[in-house]
Amino acid sequence: MSQPESIERKPSGRIGHLLRRVEYGLLSALLLAVVGIGLVQIGMRNLADTSLPWADPAMRAAVLWIAMLAGVLAAGSAQHIRIDALLSHLPAAIRPWIDRVVLLATALICVALAVASIDIVRLEFEIGDLAFATVPRWAVLAIIPVGFGLMAFRFVYRALLPAVPQTAPGAEESR
């Protein structure tokens, strides 16, 4: 009899599926925009020895948004980076409870980061600098508290879901 290797807690259902599709669509659109703007920049620099002055800062802003949205998506689908070397050495009976504690601790850290980043966004709002074109810097940075807040929500939600034991790859083959 094989023992579970890991604990999986993923939201399912129609709403979860719709949410993942929206998230993947938004990430894909941002990534295509970055690639498209980058190609236009390369073409303009090579062919006309000019460029769009707002393009490089806009691409940097888009990369920040891509990173935060990808983090939210990874947190919701249990594909985030996690260090669980200790978890595999614990008795199978307590693994789901330890996993819940870790998820809740991770959510607490995300809340702390969201709260801290709200101060940064507020400060940027008061300063009023532009990130690129007519886009204020605070609008670019607003994804940070929103992203960490959504990650915290996702971790708490997953901590409350029932655990689904996952068997080791190839465990069915050995039967």
Find where tokens 């940075």 sit.
141
As a whole number, mean pLDDT of residues 137-160 equals 94
Angle of helix 95-127 relative to helix 143-160, nearest 10 degrees, comes to 160
Strand partners, 132: 135
Q: How far apart are CA 152 and CA 28, in angstroms?
A: 23
What are the tens digits of pLDDT across the range 47-102?
A: 999 999 999 999 999 999 999 999 998 887 766 766 667 777 777 787 778 888 88
Q: What is the pLDDT of residue 148?
A: 97
Q: Are the C-beta atoms of 75 and 103 separated by less than 8 Å?
A: no
The full 3-state SS of the chain, as one line of letters, equals: CCCEEEEECCCCHHHHHHHHHHHHHHHHHHHHHHHHHHHHHHHHHHHCCCCCCCHHHHHHHHHHHHHHHHHHHHHHCCCCCCCCCCHHHCCCCCHHHHHHHHHHHHHHHHHHHHHHHHHHHHHHHHHCCEEECCEEHHHHHCHHHHHHHHHHHHHHHHHHCCCEEEECCCCCCCC
pLDDT at 12: 62
- Determine what percent of the chain is predicted with pLDDT higher than 70: 81
Instruction: Say if strands 130-132 and 135-136 run parallel, antiparallel, or are unpaired.
Output: antiparallel
Terminal CA-CA length for the chain: 9
Q: pLDDT by residue (tens digit) across 3-59?
A: 444 455 555 678 778 888 888 999 999 999 999 999 999 999 999 999 999 999 999
Written as one letter, the residue type at 72 is V
What is the arithmetic mean of pLDDT over 161-165? Answer: 64
Task: Render pLDDT for 100-118 as a digit per residue (tens, 0 to 9).
Answer: 888 999 999 999 999 999 9
d(CA 107, CA 157): 10
pLDDT of residue 4: 42
Q: For residue 134, which phi and psi values (nearest 5 degrees)? A: -110, 15
**Taking 70 as the threshold, does the pLDDT of residue 175 lie above it?**
no
